[in-house]
């Protein structure tokens, strides 16, 4: 198989973890006989520095003519004081919108040997395995342009959704739940927000089309609590953009580190984008200590969702699991014993497992 992949390294640890995902992809290409053609593009702070904008038009064009996009991370203190249209994050939000990447899938699955890396009790998290389906192109992130009024004494951010935007992500979540254990938790704030009331109505209507999926509604505050007191009660969670952002960081605690969480951002028809759920971690950038696993697992999600290469994706996932179970980890994981490795050495261990299979 011949595929074109747009590589957006971005900022902070983005470039160094991307290099590791590329090494893994080359190994997969060699092992399974595929050619992955990589093209570089600019996004985030790197794009601001080189092209004066966080999302050059050229990047969007390259993305649209690729088979998939891999993205590292964006942001850093260097651009923190920039006006909002010149912030690296704008690049990320812009490409999500430009490619209509409405469905963000964030699987959260812990590894056995890392159970003690989580501050949560072993019996609480052991065996937890869930999928957060986050709406990615609407809500507070994409309301009317935010404004400061009345000499800066009033600020307005708007939460905007159309019925179609809600319906398509809810359908996607039902479809995802059907492929898993057929339990869907819809998370909202229907006791307060009108948007959540509409969301709940749509979930109820759509549930009739998926009779084998059990649906429950949970308010976001209660969900935040239950996620860490009884994570095993969840399987597939669907929620709007901002709630999904917050809950996915929280859920990463189950795995021991945000550095373990991959994600896929999918469009209805069109190119998909794959990126770790974590940020650019500027404090540890360039030191070869970042955890490459979320990025590598994001590449695996790309193989599965965009290229239909299930065996290849599984090979990466198994290799990661094997390497971790052999006691190898990176510095972000607070585990006793085992061997703490650099970014590149951790990747060596993963590649070793792939070539062994
Ligand atoms: C994420 C990130 C982004 C988001 C930021 C960097 C804009 O936190 O992908 O979860 O809020 O969506
Ligand atoms: Mn986030």
What are the tens digits of pLDDT across the range 164-196?
999 999 999 999 999 999 999 999 999 999 999
249 counts as catalytic: yes
| Domain definitions of the chain by residue range | 1-103+262-357, 119-254
| Catalytic residue selected from 245, 274, 328, 332 | 245
Here the tokens at position 78 are 């260097």
Mean pLDDT in the chain? 97
Percentage helix, strand, coil for the chain under 3-state DSSP, each rounded to 5: 50, 20, 30
DSSP string, 51-105: HSSSS-HHHHHHHHTSSEEEEEE---GGGTTS-GGGSHHHHHHHHHHHTT--EEE
Report yes or no: 280 and 73 within 8 Å, Cβ to Cβ. yes
Name the pLDDT band for 344 (thresholds 50, 70, 90). very high
Name the pLDDT band for 22 (thresholds 50, 70, 90). very high
Give 278 Cα–ligand 2 centroid separation in angstroms.
Answer: 7
Name the pLDDT band for 110 (thresholds 50, 70, 90). confident
100 counts as catalytic: no
Share of the chain above pLDDT 90, in %: 95
Apex 56 CA angle, 51 and 57, nearest 5: 140
The fold for domain 119-254 equals Isopropylmalate Dehydrogenase (3.40.718)
Residues whose Cβ atom is located within 5 A of ion ligand 2: 245
Give 306 Cα–ligand 1 centroid separation in angstroms.
Answer: 22
As a whole number, mean pLDDT of residues 236-253 equals 97
Return the number of other C-beta atoms located less than 10 Å from residue 58's C-beta. Answer: 12
What are the tens digits of pLDDT across the range 265-285?
999 999 999 999 999 999 999
What are the tens digits of pLDDT across the range 188-217?
999 999 999 999 999 999 999 999 999 999
Instruction: Outline where DSSP puts E strands in the chain.
Output: 2-10, 35-41, 68-73, 103-109, 129-135, 147-149, 154-156, 183-188, 214-219, 236-239, 264-266, 272-274, 328-329, 339-340
Contacts of residue 137, Cβ cutoff 8 Å, sequence gap at least 6: 96, 97, 100, 101, 102, 165, 241
1-103+262-357 and 119-254 agree in CATH topology: yes
Report yes or no: 17 and 260 within 8 Å, Cβ to Cβ. no
CA nearest ligand 1 atom 6, residue: 89
pLDDT at 298 over 80: yes
| Cα gap 134→188, rounded to integer Å | 12
The fold for domain 1-103+262-357 equals Isopropylmalate Dehydrogenase (3.40.718)
| Cα gap 82→286, rounded to integer Å | 23
Here the tokens at position 352 are 């070793």
What are the tens digits of pLDDT across the range 299-327?
999 999 999 999 999 999 999 999 999 99
């Amino acid at each position: 198989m011949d595929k074109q992949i747009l590589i957006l390294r971005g900022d902070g640890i983005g470039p160094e973890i991307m290099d590791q995902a590329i090494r893994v992809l080359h190994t997969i290409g060699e092992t399974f006989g595929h050619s992955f053609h990589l093209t570089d593009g600019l996004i985030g702070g790197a794009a601001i520095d080189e092209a004066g904008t966080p999302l050059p038009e050229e990047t969007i064009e390259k993305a649209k003519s690729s088979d998939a996009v891999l993205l590292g991370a964006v942001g850093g203190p260097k651009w923190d004081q920039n006006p909002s249209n010149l912030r690296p994050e704008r690049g990320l939000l812009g490409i999500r919108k430009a490619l209509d990447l409405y469905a963000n899938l964030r699987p959260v699955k812990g590894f056995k040997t890392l159970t003690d890396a989580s501050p949560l009790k072993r019996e609480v998290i052991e065996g937890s395995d869930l999928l957060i389906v986050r709406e990615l192109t609407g809500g507070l992130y994409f309301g009317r342009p935010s404004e400061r009024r009345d000499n800066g004494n009033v600020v307005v951010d708007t939460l905007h959704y159309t019925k179609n935007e809600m319906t398509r992500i809810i359908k996607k979540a039902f479809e995802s739940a059907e492929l898993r254990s057929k339990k869907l938790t819809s998370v909202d704030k229907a006791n307060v927000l009108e948007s959540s009331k509409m969301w709940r109505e749509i979930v109820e209507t759509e549930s009739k089309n998926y009779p084998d999926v059990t649906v429950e509604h949970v308010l976001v505050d209660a969900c935040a609590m239950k996620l860490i007191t009884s994570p095993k009660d969840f399987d597939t969670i669907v929620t709007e953009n901002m709630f999904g952002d917050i809950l996915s960081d929280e859920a990463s605690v189950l795995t021991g580190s945000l550095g373990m969480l991959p994600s896929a951002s999918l469009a209805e028809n069109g190119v998909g984008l794959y990126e770790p759920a974590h940020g650019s971690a500027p404090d540890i950038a360039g030191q070869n200590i970042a955890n490459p696993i979320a990025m590598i697992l994001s590449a695996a999600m790309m193989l599965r969702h965009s290229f239909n290469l299930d065996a290849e994706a599984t090979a990466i996932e198994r290799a990661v699991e094997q390497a971790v179970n052999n006691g190898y980890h990176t510095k972000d994981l607070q585990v006793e014993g085992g061997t703490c490795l650099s970014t590149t050495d951790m990747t060596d261990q993963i590649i070793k497992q792939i070539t062994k299979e």
